[in-house]
Every structure is written in structure tokens, then in C-alpha cells.
Amino acid sequence: VQIDLKQAEAIKGQLKTLGVPVLRQTFDYLTVDIPGGLEDRVRAVPGVVSIHPEARYGALEFFIPVDRKLAEFQRLFRSNPLTGPLQAFKFIQEADQGKKRVPTSVSRVAVGADVADALDITGKGVKVACLDTGTDHLGVQGLYLGGKSTVEGQPAPIDEVGHGYHVATTISGHPFQSMRGLLQGVAVEAEVMAEKVLGWGLGMGTTTTILRGMADAVEWGADIISMSLGGPEEDPGNPTDRIISALTKEGIIVVVAAGNSGPDAATLGTPGASPDSLTVGAVDIEGVIPSFSSRGPSKAGLIKPDVVAPGVNILSSTTGYIAVMQTADGPKLGAISGTSMATPTVSGCVALALQYARARGKRLTTDGIKQAMSMYGQYPGGSKRNDYGYGAIHFSILKRYIDNL
């Protein structure tokens, strides 16, 4: 329930009188449990602006191709105690046949991290809040102990899926020589908070867990909020989009996945369709868009995504279910695909650009990044497309824009 904050206490009192439990408050929203038949009476309470059903968000179920693999792997594994595990691993072996793994030491170069390296730009001093399935406290590429959990019944930010740790190490994972190649995050000295906003086995969350995660990110002082998650596209003005717009106005750069429901048009998710987010689509390491990457336009007619980055078979550290499923990639490693993998790559690139801008006394915003891509991106005249956006992001593009501010 969206409310007028000036009347918050009075609204809570009226809701209590109506028998409507208020579970929590986040920003200017109350999470409530409205008994049947009382919705109109809640809407009529002075100071109530609007009512929004709790939306469902996910890391795997909706957003990345690995979801289909993981769901089938789990189904086969559990189908028979004797033959199930063998069938499950056979399925994964066939699914990954011919896969070209792309270690993060390679994908980071595709967004210009090597150019930043030469300038001693590493993301130092930049805070990135990674809202996902949590972290691995025993991970070899970084511990990311600063996160919390907003998932009811799961108070510790432990990543049982493996998606969140893969995303966090793509942003800033410490160099690690794996059996499949060197792993290294884009911005190795960026400070990452791995917040658990998705849980319960397959990485599921709600509007409330996402909003609470964003509130924690603001309290922590995040410069960038990275969200490789989403659900079906909601109507304009939904709570997640509203808060992203508000945070963007405060200077926080919110980087989100476009979705994984391509190749058709109008397949964006929420928050990928947010007008003020930096929305990310996927390409392979050759720069070709895969069929799964979601395309615009949004319900509001916006051209999305804004940028693209490598998101196909990205090899980084993982844990949990994905580590078990991707055993052939190496111990606690996973080469997985999706706009979920492209998003942290962009978040790392933005972290590098923020450090570069600050060192020169300049300010980089979400609008500035979009303007930089419009001016110096791969399409003439600043044109934007509903598959590639402004094109592939690169540190050199952002550096050129910053130098000319």
C-alpha cells in the first residue's frame, strides 16, 4: 500500500481498526495482509495513495536460461533414488556439449577493464549493492560478508542457489586461477555488499523483499545497485519502478537485467522495463545477441535495453545448486548464461567509471551513462534499438564522456 508518509501513523491506526495487519514499512509503502472484501475500505483510508498486489520476483524461474536446466536437473535427480542422479548428470552433459566457456578474465576485457587497469582504476572507493540470492562465506574469490537477508525465515545471506555469488564475483571477484581459466571480476577493488533478497531453493522473492533490499542498500551508502532478477512486466508506476526512479534522482545508479524471454519484442520484465534504470541485455563474446535476451519496447513504449554486455557461458565462482549442476566446469565454478550475467559485468564497468570520474572531480549519473552511449556508442546519430539498446558498453566510452564534461 503506497501512503502519504506525513500520515503514516494515522494510516496504521486506521488499518489496525479495520483489522488489516501491517507487516512492515519500506520507503512510502506498507506491506499489509488485506482480508477479503476490505480492499475498497483500505483504499478509502485518508493518506492511502494506491494498492499494489505483491509481485513475485526470481533469479532463476523467470530470468536466466540456467533455470530450465536447473529445474530439469532437479526433477531428474529426484525422480528415482537409484537412477535419477545418473540421468540428471547425463542431461547436463548433453546440454553443455560444445559449450565455449568464457572466464570472467575474458568478459571483463570486453567492457574495457584492461583499459582501466592501465590507468590503475580498479573500482576502489565505489560501493556496489548486489541484490540477489546471497553469498558464499567460503568462496575463493571474496567473502562479501556485509550483506543481510530480507527473505522471511532465512535470516542469513547464505546462497543456496549459487546465482548471487556468481553475480558478485563477476563484479569484483579476486583473481583466481581455475582449471578452466583465470577468473577475475571487472572492478576488483569495488566494495560489494551481497544482499539476499531471493531465497527458498530456486531464488524467489517478492516486491517487499526487493524494496527492503534497496532500502538496506541506501542505508549502506551504495553508489550502484545491481539487480539480476525480475518478474513479468508490471504496469508503469509499480512500486519497484517508483523507487528506482527516486533513487536515480538521488544519484544512485541502478543496473538491472532486461530479462530472458526473447527473442520476441515486448518481452521485458520488471524492473528491466523501468524508465530510469540502466537496463542490460546480453550478447555473446563475439558481440552477437542470443535468442534469450529480452527486447523492448516496454508497456510504456520505451526502447529497452539501454546497453548490452557479455552474458553467454560466463565462467565465475558459484556455490549451491548451480555448483552441483555445473560440476564439469570445475569445483564450485559455473559457466552460465543470461542477462543476469551481463548485468554484473556492466555494474563492474560502471564502478570503474565512477572511480575515474571522482578522481577528476566530476560526477557520473545514469543519464550521463546513457548520454555517453548515445554520443559515442556503436550506432550513428545516437540511435537506440530494442535489442542492443545503444550497443555494447565499454569503459573507454564512459572515459571519453567524462573527459569532456
CA distances from 336 to 19, 39, 99, 126 (A): 47, 43, 10, 26
What is the C-alpha to C-alpha distance for residues 249 and 367, in angstroms, rounded to an integer? 10
User: What is the arrangement of strands in the sheet containing 191-196, beginning at the earlier edge strand?
Assistant: 191-196, 127-132, 224-227, 253-257, 278-283, 307-310
* Strand duo 204-206 + 56-58: pairing: antiparallel
Q: Is 345 helix (H, G, I), strand (E, B) or coil?
A: helix
Q: Is 383 helix (H, G, I), strand (E, B) or coil?
A: coil
Phi and psi, residue 269, nearest 5°:
-110, -175
Peptide bond into 310 cis (omega under 30): no
Set of cell numbers at residue 31: 506491506
295, 265 in Cβ contact below 8 A? yes
What is the C-alpha to C-alpha distance for residues 76 and 70, in angstroms, rounded to an integer? 10
Set of cell numbers at residue 372: 555517453
Question: Strand (E) positions, 114-212?
Answer: 127-132, 176-178, 181-183, 191-196, 204-206
List 132, 159, 223, 284, catalytic entry:
132
State yes or no: is 340 an active-site residue.
yes
Q: Which residues pair with 335 in a beta bridge?
A: 315
115, burial (CB in 10 Å: exposed 0-12, middle 13-18, buried 19+)? middle
135, 170 in Cβ contact below 8 A? no
List 149, 274, 340, 374, catalytic entry:
340
CB contact burial 206-245 (16+ within 10 A = b; e otherwise): bbbbbbbbbbbbbeeebbbbbbbbbbebbebebbbbbbbe
List 105, 149, 163, 298, catalytic entry:
163
State yes or no: is 383 an active-site residue.
no
What is the C-alpha to C-alpha distance for residues 180 and 335, in angstroms, rounded to an integer? 10
For the chain, how long is the longest CA-to-CA vector?
A: 65
Q: Which residues are known to be catalytic?
A: 132, 163, 340
